[in-house]
Amino acid sequence: MKSFDYTITDEIGIHARPAGILAKKAKEYASRITITKGGKTAEAQKLMAVMSLGVKKGETVTVSAEGEDEEKAAADMETFFKENL
């Protein structure tokens, strides 16, 4: 399993638009990608689950990838978070 922590810099946090883009991006990988905040975990591929975390600007999330392409998935997701969130 590969994981990284990221502090959200987007003014609105993970709201509908970026959550949708995030879910679409996560579906590109065979690995299971999860986002954890404050003890709650959501599968990144599921839009409503990601939004239910209620991540706001300044909060830190842990993103994990586990599976056959976890190295690439984790690296790509970290880049995605830096560019979009």
Cite the active site residues.
15
Q: Check: CB of residue 21 under 8 Å from CB of residue 27.
A: no
Residue for token pair 């209620």: 54
Phi and psi at residue 59, to the nearest 5°: -90, 150
